[in-house]
Amino acid sequence: MRDHFARTMHEVGHKVKDVFIVVADISPAGSMAPFRADFPDRFINVGVAEQSMIGLCAGLALRGCRPFAYTIATFSIYRPFEQVRDDVCYHDLPVTIVGIGGGIAYSTLGGTHHAQEDVAVMSALPNMTVMAPCDPAETALATWAAVERNGPVYLRLGKAGEPDLTSNAPDPYVFGKVRRIRQGKDICILSYGPITKMAFDAAEIIERESGASVAIVSVHTLKPLDREGIARVLQQFSTVVVVEEHSPRGGLGGQVKEVAWESAARCRLTTLSLQDEFIHAFGSHAYLLGMHGLSVEAITKAVLAPVAR
């Protein structure tokens, strides 16, 4: 994802005037090299100083530039939260704040590096747009959408090596709209970010074991949320499952339940998320997700259990 982001920014740099990348000592070294080579004045490393990173970006945007701030998700939004709120959002400036390692992708680095509640925190800010693409191709599309968005954006990315999930997607990517990326008619899984891969793995097992067909929808834009699109999903499918790598508060699950209530949905609705707890453990990404109840088996079980009953 980070490589696709960097490659896309190189294209953006050539097509859009006054694009800056401002990092706080974290950067995808190899893939950012072409941008740095072509725009040496517009790649800025402020050092380990995230307040400066966001303040600088807001100042650049006040002069009409299009800055992208980039570092690990926790550092990009938590340390400089007031700069994000006051400098970027209150002024409604076109600054994109990129958080890599959204969720608990940095699974061996401990809780200080886990962005478990980033979507909730960023979504609470007026003027903020929140995007979380599910794979490298969607990352490129979301990066362009961020450029075209004339206001603050939080772009939540994974790390590196995420598989392609969208090359056969039935729906195109449209900013602000939910996107069907796997065809199905009985069950629908709503997800965002790299954990969407887990939904694909579960879908295959569910189809094999139950014969029901499973659709997957990428909710790549979390704010503004496509409430009409979600209401349609809740009408069309008899079972809807939300899978998210995020705290149960303020993410997608609760909002889908709001839409379900407001649209008088009759489907069965299950939400799976991280727990409202910090993680004091180290291991693979899958291991940590499993500790909080997020696994292919857990999704499969949540979908199939009532059928078996």
Partner 1 sequence: MGVSSPGIETAADRCRRYRRHILDISQRGVVLHIAPAFSCLELVDAVYHELMRRDGDLPDTFILSKGHGCLSQYVILEDLGVLTAAHLEGYCKPGGMLGSHPDYGIPGIEASTGSLGHGLGLGVGMALADKVRGDDRQVFVVLSDGELQEGSVWEAMMLAPSLGITNLVALVDLNDFQSLGRTSETLPNFYPMKDKVEAFGWECREVNGHDSPAIVAAVKSRSGQKPMMVLGRTTKGKGVSYMENVPIWHYRSPSPEEYQQAIRELEAGR
Which one, 47 or 161, has the nearer CB to partner 1?
Answer: 47
Shortest Cβ 106–partner 1 spacing (Å): 24
The CB density around residue 130, as the number of other CB atoms within 10 Å, is: 24
Which one, 55 or 99, has the nearer CB to partner 1?
Answer: 55
Which one, 65 or 281, has the nearer CB to partner 1?
Answer: 65
Shortest Cβ 253–partner 1 spacing (Å): 33
| Position 60 contacts partner 1 (CB under 8 A) | yes
- The one-letter amino acid code at 20 reads F
The only residue of 15, 64, 183, 228 in contact with partner 1, by rule CB under 8 A:
64
Residue with tokens 């056969």: 168
Beta strand 153-156 pairing with 129-131: parallel
Shortest Cβ 23–partner 1 spacing (Å): 13
Which one, 62 or 307, has the nearer CB to partner 1?
Answer: 62
Which of positions 188-247 make contact with partner 1 (CB under 8 A)? none
Residue 168: burial class (beta carbons within 10 Å; 0-12, 13-18, 19+): exposed
Which one, 87 or 245, has the nearer CB to partner 1?
Answer: 87
The DSSP 8-state label assigned to residue 241 in this structure reads: E
Shortest Cβ 259–partner 1 spacing (Å): 34
Shortest Cβ 34–partner 1 spacing (Å): 19
The only residue of 37, 62, 124, 305 in contact with partner 1, by rule CB under 8 A:
62
CA 182 remoteness from chain centre: 18
40-59 footprint of partner 1 as x/- string (CB under 8 A) = -xx-x-xx-x-xx-xxxxxx
Measured CA to CA, the distance from residue 298 to residue 304 in angstroms comes to 10
Which of positions 6-35 make contact with partner 1 (CB under 8 A)? 18
> What is the gyration radius of the CA atoms in the chain, in angstroms?
19
75-114 footprint of partner 1 as x/- string (CB under 8 A) = -------xx--xx--xx-----------------------
Shortest Cβ 77–partner 1 spacing (Å): 15
Contact 58, 88 (CB under 8 A): yes
CA 36 remoteness from chain centre: 25
Q: Angle at CA 69, nearest 5°, toward 130 and 89?
A: 50
Tokens of 73: 């998700």
Measured CA to CA, the distance from residue 94 to residue 150 in angstroms comes to 5
Q: Who contacts 1 (Cβ-Cβ below 8 Å, separation ≥6)?
A: 100, 133, 135, 136, 139, 157, 158, 159, 160, 162, 194
Phi, psi of 218 (to 5 degrees): -90, 120
Which one, 69 or 72, has the nearer CB to partner 1?
Answer: 69
Shortest Cβ 41–partner 1 spacing (Å): 5
Residues that bind partner 1 (CB under 8 A): 18, 41-42, 44, 46-47, 49, 51-52, 54-65, 67, 82-83, 86-87, 90-91
